[in-house]
Structure 1
Amino acid sequence: MSAVPPPPFRVRIGVRSYEMDVNGHVNHAVYHQYGEHARMEHFRAAGLSQHALGAHGLTIVLLSTTVHFRAELRAGDELEIDSVIDFSERKPFTMSHRIVRVAAGDGTRTDDLSAEVQCTLGVLDTTTRRLAGGPYGRLRAAASDPSLLGPGPRDALLGRPSD
């Protein structure tokens, strides 16, 4: 029997007027900020605040990020940003986000995929200033709610829950 993957972690935000570019839609760089917000909220919900990570001599670093734009966003739109973590046996791990407009600025309900954000991250050992091996295990040990990290690399491959 294969494990059912956990649902994506989700946050909601509203598009603010100061995030607009000269064309009247969200500036391209702001999509990266939306992804960052979802990542930080996901880690915070798992109990991985900077303070909690620091107590374990760790921090999380962003190694790369890519945004694929699908539909424009405008001031007043309401967004839902999900986040899914994928661990492998390697030091880097990935986090994916879908930015979905759930309501237009006029209140009309929508379900428009606006962007997809792909990030590569690592767990940095703050003493050695090097990426730490076994990021899933290290984050799981520091988390107060490790279930929000999703399955570990071997668990995902074997189709079993990580808890």
Structure 2
Amino acid sequence: MSAEPPAQFQLTIDVRSYEVDVNGHVNHAVYHQYAEHARMEHFRAAGLSQARLSGHGATIVLLATTANFRSELLAGEQLTVDSELAFGEGRAFTMRHRIVRTVDVDGNPAGDVLAADVDCTLGVMDVVTRKLLHGPRDRLAAAATDVALLDPR
């Protein structure tokens, strides 16, 4: 299964040996960690560090996450994790990640095989009231240094 073109943001990760379970492939929980790493790097690239968000009285919280596993990953492979934000009405927004194998264990191109999709529902929470804020896109844009990384292509 070939993956789609890259989304708004992507990063490269090497699969480390300690991420592999007794079946010889990446443990299911690690896929969520890959998505979390991409999510935090995406926000950081947009200028939304935790310190900056706190200075605006807000933080980003994860409300739900679902992983759909498509193809196993092995120690020594290289992958890209991309992310795409979507904002709607209300207090929640979504970020979708695709985890794609790009290099196999022998260092050969892997043909961009989709290994998993991870879908996340997030919110922007007021750090004082501990309540979700309406208009998360506007709240994030007010604090961001690169607003283009918040907008879908």
TM-score after normalising by structure 1 = 0.88
Counterparts of 2:81 and 2:8, CA distance in 1: 9
SS of the residue 2:118 aligns to: strand
Partner of 1:62: 62
Alignment of 1:133-148 (within 5 A): 133-148=134-149
1:18 aligns with 2:25: no
Q: Are the equivalent residues in 1 in contact too, given 2:97–2:119 (CA < 8 A)?
A: yes
The whole-number CA distance in structure 1 between the counterparts of 2:12 and 2:125 is: 29
Shift of 1:90: 1.4
How far does residue 118 in structure 1 lie from its aligned partner after superposition? 0.2
Separation in 2, partners of 1:97, 1:18: 22
> What runs of 5+ residues in structure 2 fail to find an aligned partner?
1-5
Asked if structure 1 preserves the Cα contact closer than 8 Å seen for 2:67 and 2:118, the reply is: yes
Confirm or deny that 1:149 pairs with 2:150. yes
Describe the superposition over 1:35-72 as per-residue Cα deviations: whole angstroms up to 9, x where unpaired: 00000000000000000000000000000000000000
Count of residues in correspondence between the two structures:
147
Cα 1:142/1:18, change in 2 over 3 Å: same
Dislocated runs of 4+, deviation >3 Å: none
Residue 91 (structure 1) aligned with residue 91 (structure 2): yes
**Secondary structure of the corresponding residue to residue 131 of structure 1:** coil
Separation (CA, whole Å) in 2 of partners of 1:77 and 1:14: 6
Residue in 2 aligned with 1:28?
A: 28
Per-residue deviation, 1:7: 4.3
Distance in 1, matches of 2:94 and 2:7, equals 16
* TM-score (normalizing by structure 2): 0.94
Question: What do the CA deviations read for 1:68-116 (whole angstroms, capped 9, x no partner)?
Answer: 0000000011010000000001100000000000001111101110000
Written as runs of structure 1 = structure 2, the 5 A alignment for 1:103-114 is 103-110=103-110, 111-114=112-115
Mapped partners of 1:19, 1:61: distance in 2? 25
Give percent identity, aligned residues only.
63
CA distance in 2, matches of 1:80, 1:131: 31
